[in-house]
Structure 1
Amino acid sequence: MNEMYNVDQTTHEKVGKTLEHIVVGARRVTLEEVLAVAERGAEVRLADQAAFRERIERGAHYLRTCLASGATVYGVNTGYGDACEVSVPPALVASLPLQLTRYHGCGMGEYLETDATLAVMVARLNSLAHGYSGVRWELLDTLMQLINQRVLPRIPAEGSVGASGDLTPLSYVAAALIGEREVSHRGQLRAASDVLAELGIAPLVLAPKEGLALMNGTAVMTGLACLAWRRADYLTRLACRLTALTTVALNGRAAHFDARLFEAKPHIGQGEAAAWIRADLSGRTDSSAQRVQDRYSVRCAPHVIGVARDALSWIRRDIENELNSANDNPLIDPDDECVLHGGNFYGGHIAFAMDALKVAVANLADLMDRQLALLVDDKFNHGLPRNLSGSTGERAAINHGFKAVQISASAWTAEALKLTMPASVFSRSTESHNQDKVSMGTIAARDCLRVLTLTEQVAAAHTLATVQAATLRLRDSALPMPPAVLTEFMKMSATHSAFVDEDRALEFDLRATADWIRAGAAPLYTDLASAQGQTGKYDG
């Protein structure tokens, strides 16, 4: 991104210097702060307030007091799940956390990428730092060191039903802390024990409940949701830019984005999207427009994008509430000195948020795919060459421009739309009917990330096509140049894919552009004020 974040202990502000660290403990952590660690190299520090450390230590001490008094605490001196009625002999209580960690080492599927792994680790650290989990300070400190040294557990993505938390994938975080299984460090896959020894980090010997505290929570789905939110937010802003460029390319009407229309239907996100498109088309007149009304995929673009913009506001709220929650079981309250047996590990809010987000994002894919279809079709593109071919003269007969790109974009869109089936309604009874209603939050989050990837591919295709189409329109007509923000965007896009005057394989152009989009690298409007007069604050 073009702007970096500087974070103090109460808030975050965009300023012109790189964020070096975020503070965990005794404060709320923001979604942007998780992204700063996961995507931009920031480190983590534990809050240095004495009261924060004292609270953590009181929680661990109270748990030890409970055990010494002979109290029964689930998962500490009982079996797990359906085996909660099984008493664990005192001599084996210390061995129980290690057993939990080991038997959950059964994940499958692809492994989480670096940014996702870091987001998961920060989410888990922040939850444990609330002081309701009964863990020692040493655990928080060691997890912080792994994050800062980029000792990354190799976490399989599949195997969680989202309650009792993300048990299986988080077992790989617990395993790294105790020096078991494999980790990635400095680009190499190695035994965790070897990396810890090399870095001088002592492997943890898990205390009672610490295995359960690490694993029995929503950190995987929440970490993935943080990444998904950022990518979806960027796609909504990019869809506005591409709609403006499509309007130019189709010689369409800027009047469809008149502010008065959106004052009459005052959804905030819809008005925001319209304002960004309007800013990109600033100064454009409709005197040469071909139709009284453009087709829905152009005219109604703010109404489509606005749904996603408004959804992002409540989705952020729910992600950050989950991120800043104590979400394991049982909770250890060091203030009231009690053990609270409950179900905070249930990931229902993240599951619903990710199900909703993937629908909103897939609609962006559909919108961009429909705009692309108009651009390549000479029956609807108002005089542009068939399939946006840039070839002229005799060779025009054998050139096909963006024909195949449009077919591929349609395939990616169809797959994104297919994946909008909600995961949260597919609860399955598991673990001897103890976990008989589960959230499927992690599956929803993984689905959402896949929909985002497909939509970014559609956006890449649409970016190449709209730039090609606008270039052709401006080349072959007497229309004035579009505003500077659009011409600058066209120039930036051209660094990833040159004008297509002769057919060529566009795979690597598309891959480079999709990577550019996923990184959020193109400057786009960030708020309503930034769009005023086509100047102000931009963000990639």
Structure 2
Amino acid sequence: MTTVHELKPGNVPLSIWRDIYFGAACSLATAAEPGVRAAEQTVDAIIAKGEPVYGINTGFGKLASVRIENADLVTLQRNIVLSHAAGVGDPLAVSVVRLIMALKIASLAQGFSGVRWQTIATLSACLDRGLIPVIPGQGSVGASGDLAPLAHMTAALMGVGAFLVAGKQVPAATALADAGLPLLELGPKEGLALLNGTQVSTALALAGLFEGEHVFRAALVTGALSTDAARGSDGPFDPRIHAVRRHRGQSEVAATLRDLMNGSPIRASHRFGDTRVQDPYCLRCQPQVMGACLDLMRQAAATLAIEANAVSDNPLVFTDTGEVISGGNFHAEPVAFAADMIAMALCEIGSIAERRIAMLVDPALSGLPAFLTPVPGLNSGFMIAQVTAAALVSENKQQAFPASVDSIPTSANQEDHVSMAAHGARRLSPMAANTANVIGIELLAAAQGCDFHAPLASSTSLEAARALLRQTVPHLEGDRYMAPDMAAATSLIRSGALAAAVGKPLPNMVEPAA
């Protein structure tokens, strides 16, 4: 039976947002309806009074001082959507757009935006029936809301633009008619409420977090396997070392690595009489580097958990006093900072993994055959796989520069400081994909390295990971077409299958729902 998550506005845990991103269905809690209708009535009362209130009967941005007559209020809302649907670039992924829609539904349903219940229901019906608005990925500076991309989402509800339906682009009006849904005619304030907010930036950042969590957990497995392949020591994972430094993530990573290597005959074989005194940093400092990444990503997750449950449009409707107050909740600085943190962590996860790959292919460092091939020279083995890892890591380094430190004035200097959150978050999924490919290459290299220690094996947990890989990728005896091997390994990383195979609890960034 398919699970359908109920969105309780203001109280949705990250684990549910993650499920929605990966394809789970959701529905809106009907308990939100009275609050939404009360805010709608507040807007109606303001219009009846005839006083100018921003977002309801005025122009927008630099044009906020222009008064709009009641007869033109519907046209005003339609115009803001069409004029703001000015995005460019490749469409956002379906998984991201589904999350955007769910985030927007949960925000509007908190009753501070002044929209009608039927408007929220229309957006929810599109999500439920698989009508996914085609949203160009570029055009938001992460302040005054993610205006351009959210305008494309809203335009589709109005029958303008296109939906993706079962993977095919369909004109919006046609898709709505086929689904038995009417074209949405916006009421007062609704266009602005739908366009304003940080839902695009937040969804993109959450996508990076969720993809990054899979990559991080897999990297702990491949890091432990590389340690055994290089006949490295588990001494640096001793809990006493990490207890005196007191970082939670560092201690958790060390405990995980110890647990993964526990009972390894390869480790036992060189516990005594090994002339090496210390391992290279890429092995020895895994708890310090990966633990810092874990702490950083958890901090980002905490920020995004708050933002995902936030009301971030402007102005806001307060039904208890009948006031509509302008502010700046649309400014996505918290999301921009979170995205920058995730970017740094992804960069470092890949960077230290690439160093382990480079170590394994170098016989002077690993003691293994050159480039992990039984007959080096005739065969190149993992020579170019390591080069690919290096290329991906360097690409991530170029992408990791903080987006949040940039700003450029917009809207005739009315919006004079912006967050760049959308750009900062949009890079995360490609960075996570790069890092997943690096970890996939490490999985291949570490498994190959352990093969040379036969008949000695690694621990039960790590042998389970190797066995999973060997179901699709055999030992590399002589050179063969490498790309399919790398793709198969990376799929185990991105799907979470590798982390699940070890049968051990691994640290996470997204805490399970209570």
TM-score after normalising by structure 1: 0.90
**Counterpart position of 2:21:** 38
In 2, are the aligned partners of 1:279 and 1:531 still within 8 Å (CA)?
no
Alignment of 1:69-80 (within 5 A): 69-80=49-60
Q: 1: CA distance between counterparts of 2:360 and 2:27?
A: 51
Given the alignment, which residue of 415, 438, 441 partners 1:435?
415
Give unpaired runs (5+ residues) of structure 1: 1-17, 533-537
Given the alignment, which residue of 372, 396, 401 partners 1:388?
372
CA apart distance, 1:471: 1.3
- The one-letter code matched in structure 1 to 2:457 is M
**Counterpart position of 1:493:** 469
CA apart distance, 1:27: 4.7
User: For the structure 1 residues 84 and 471, does the alpha-carbon distance in structure 2 shift closer, same or farther, using more than 3 Å as the test?
Assistant: same
Q: Secondary structure of 2:155's match?
A: helix
CA apart distance, 1:525: 9.3
Q: 1: CA distance between counterparts of 2:237 and 2:451?
A: 23
What whole-Å deviation, never above 9, does each CA across 1:298-332 have from its counterpart, x for those lacking one?
A: 00011000011111222111101111111000001
Instruction: Answer yes or no: is 1:378 the counterpart of 2:368.
Output: no
Instruction: Answer yes or no: is 1:23 the counterpart of 2:6.
Output: yes
Q: Secondary structure of 2:454's match?
A: helix
Alignment of 1:166-245 (within 5 A): 166-245=146-225
CA apart distance, 1:288: 5.7
User: For the structure 1 residues 129 and 522, does the alpha-carbon distance in structure 2 shift closer, same or farther, using more than 3 Å as the test?
Assistant: same
Given the alignment, which residue of 39, 43, 48 partners 2:30?
48
Instruction: Answer yes or no: is 1:364 the counterpart of 2:340.
Output: no
Q: 2: CA distance between counterparts of 1:402 and 1:352?
A: 37
Q: Secondary structure of 2:320's match?
A: coil
Q: 2: CA distance between counterparts of 1:67 and 1:390?
A: 80
CA apart distance, 1:89: 2.3
Given the alignment, which residue of 325, 337, 356 partners 1:340?
325
Alignment of 1:476-487 (within 5 A): 480-487=456-463
What whole-Å deviation, never above 9, does each CA across 1:49-98 have from its counterpart, x for those lacking one?
A: 2xx21110010111011011012121221111001011112221111111
Q: Is the deviation greater in 30-39 or in 94-103?
A: 30-39
Q: Secondary structure of 2:185's match?
A: coil
Q: 2: CA distance between counterparts of 1:428 and 1:526?
A: 48
**Counterpart position of 1:513:** 489
CA apart distance, 1:179: 1.6
**Counterpart position of 2:292:** 307
Instruction: Answer yes or no: is 1:322 the counterpart of 2:315.
Output: no
Q: 2: CA distance between counterparts of 1:443 and 1:525?
A: 35
User: For the structure 1 residues 208 and 276, does the alpha-carbon distance in structure 2 shift closer, same or farther, using more than 3 Å as the test?
Assistant: same
Q: 2: CA distance between counterparts of 1:451 and 1:45?
A: 31
**Counterpart position of 1:5:** none
Q: 2: CA distance between counterparts of 1:281 and 1:229?
A: 27
What whole-Å deviation, never above 9, does each CA across 1:327-349 have from its counterpart, x for those lacking one?
A: 00000111221111000000000
**Counterpart position of 1:353:** 338
What whole-Å deviation, never above 9, does each CA across 1:378-422 have from its counterpart, x for those lacking one?
A: 11112x11000144xxxx531010000011110110110111111
**Counterpart position of 1:502:** 478
Give unpaired runs (5+ residues) of structure 2: none
- The one-letter code matched in structure 1 to 2:48 is A
In 2, are the aligned partners of 1:107 and 1:159 still within 8 Å (CA)?
yes
Q: 2: CA distance between counterparts of 1:457 and 1:510?
A: 7
Report percent identity of matched pairs: 32
User: For the structure 1 residues 496 and 124, does the alpha-carbon distance in structure 2 shift closer, same or farther, using more than 3 Å as the test?
Assistant: farther
Q: Secondary structure of 1:183's match?
A: strand
CA apart distance, 1:512: 2.9
Q: 1: CA distance between counterparts of 2:466 and 2:123?
A: 44
Q: 2: CA distance between counterparts of 1:474 and 1:231?
A: 34
Please provide the CA RMSD for this pair. Answer: 1.9
**Counterpart position of 1:295:** 280
Q: 1: CA distance between counterparts of 2:279 and 2:323?
A: 64
Q: 1: CA distance between counterparts of 2:128 and 2:452?
A: 49
CA apart distance, 1:497: 2.4
TM-score after normalising by structure 2: 0.94
Alignment of 1:413-424 (within 5 A): 413-424=393-404
**Counterpart position of 2:114:** 134
- The one-letter code matched in structure 2 to 1:231 is E
Alignment of 1:393-412 (within 5 A): 396-412=376-392
In 2, are the aligned partners of 1:252 and 1:291 still within 8 Å (CA)?
no
User: For the structure 1 residues 499 and 103, does the alpha-carbon distance in structure 2 shift closer, same or farther, using more than 3 Å as the test?
Assistant: same
CA apart distance, 1:372: 0.4
Instruction: Answer yes or no: is 1:120 the counterpart of 2:103.
Output: no
- The one-letter code matched in structure 1 to 2:488 is A
User: For the structure 1 residues 431 and 348, does the alpha-carbon distance in structure 2 shift closer, same or farther, using more than 3 Å as the test?
Assistant: same
Q: 2: CA distance between counterparts of 1:353 and 1:323?
A: 12
**Counterpart position of 1:93:** 73
CA apart distance, 1:234: 2.2
